[in-house]
Amino acid sequence: MNGSSGIRLARAYLAAVAEPPAPALAAFVEELGPIDAAAQVRRGDVPELVANETTARREWDRAARHLKAAEAIGARLLIPEDEDWPTAPFLSYARSGHAHLATPLALWTRGPARLVELTERSVAIVGARAATMYGKHVANSIGFGVAELGCTVVSGAAYGIDGAAHRGALAVEGPTVAVLACGVDRPYPSGHARLLSHIARAGLVVSEYPPGAVPARHRFLVRNRIIAGLAAGTVVVEAGWRSGARRTASDAALLGRQVMAVPGPVTSALSVGCHRLLREPGTVAVTCAEEVIEEVGRIGVDLAPVGRPVEPARVTDGLSGPVSRVHDALSDRTIRDVGRLSVESGLPLEVVRAALPQLAQAGLVERADGGWRRVRHEARGGA
């Protein structure tokens, strides 16, 4: 067994011997290296905190079986010793100082893409499973838009917001990553089997859990830290007062990532979590892909384009202060002379007399029966 395969086999054992997150084991492996750490765990020759995390499974060594099962479905074990391990995103885990944000020991991945490249520009889009049509529409639109702008969409492949975000990215053949709370060989939820198959062909399906691992309630919360960490920022589209999406946002904040939330109807129970987030310092309200990219993108480069919808232009846009005041003093129903306009605007007669020709040239006023009146215009749409 060469050194590379020995390290991978050791990592496969360590990744399964403790239930993630395993902060004590992660620190132990960092100190000794994976091969020596695995040997000591097998013997039970470990500190108490590591023993608490590993004793139940230390004799349960299925590393070779897991690697073979992964190979059979075109998956692999990605480890920190690999060139395509996303080192930069995971640096913030240890620095966070929070035990539940322990760095993963390895990741099982299924798909052709390189995780290190997908995380160079990435955003997580998460939210409620029982999403409304509004929420799914917004998630799909943002997923579509950020992928079209070259940004990876990271989510959890759940029903509702997650699935809508993944589908938005896939609609433009954009990169997307699905992080599971079970083995990468298990399509979960089963109704998303086709979606996960599509993601595995175009992007990556990722999990801390080995092939064959089944989903469990606590595992969904644990995997949320991976979703938060693989992205430069997290967008919550719809979420209840207490939800997994809010947990992902909380993990993102602890990891130093940008947290964003989409406002919704104040009467919707599925927007309560978003509105709660928006009351917290650091959360930014976003409504479209361009605003998301502006928050997580390159400073001074990934700015929301000017071409976004703007308020309708007014015919008086561009008028100087005095000229605008004269225009305000006019009426489209009543003819007013210069003296009356001076009183109404509070401007000297000579200023009013100078302003009226400018307004007439712009087509905003007209002479009538010895006085002036405003020309009625409809608001013009912005370009």
**Which segments within the chain are labelled E, that is strand?**
75-78, 107-110, 122-126, 152-155, 176-179, 204-207, 233-236, 258-261, 284-285, 365-368, 371-374
Q: Digits of tens for pLDDT over the chain (383 positions)?
A: 455 789 999 999 999 999 999 999 999 999 999 999 999 999 999 999 999 999 999 998 999 999 999 999 999 999 999 999 999 999 998 888 899 999 999 999 999 999 999 999 999 999 999 999 999 999 999 999 999 999 999 999 999 999 999 999 999 999 999 999 999 999 999 999 999 999 999 899 999 999 999 999 999 999 999 999 999 999 999 998 888 888 999 999 999 999 999 999 999 999 999 999 999 999 999 999 999 999 997 644 455 554 455 455 566 666 778 888 888 888 888 889 888 888 888 888 888 888 888 888 888 888 888 888 888 765 444 33
- In what side-by-side order are the strands of the sheet with 152-155? 75-78, 107-110, 204-207, 176-179, 152-155, 122-126, 233-236, 258-261, 284-285
Torsion angle of alpha carbons 99, 101, 105, 111, nearest 10°? Answer: 160
Q: Pick from 217, 208, 206: which is nearest to 124 by CA?
A: 206
CA dist., res. 379 & res. 230, Å (int)? 46
CA dist., res. 337 & res. 323, Å (int)? 16
Bridge partners of 233? 258
Q: Report CA-CA distances (Å) from 83 to 87, 203, 266, 292.
A: 9, 18, 47, 29
Query: What DSSP element (H or E) covers 353?
Result: helix 349-361
Tens digit of pLDDT for each residue in 147-194? 999 999 999 999 999 999 999 999 999 999 999 999 999 999 999 999
Name the DSSP class of 240: -
User: In this structure, what token pair is assigned to residue 248?
Assistant: 């992902």
Q: What angle do CA 205, 81, 200 make, to 5 degrees?
A: 15
Tens digit of pLDDT for each residue in 10-61? 999 999 999 999 999 999 999 999 999 999 999 999 999 999 999 999 998 9
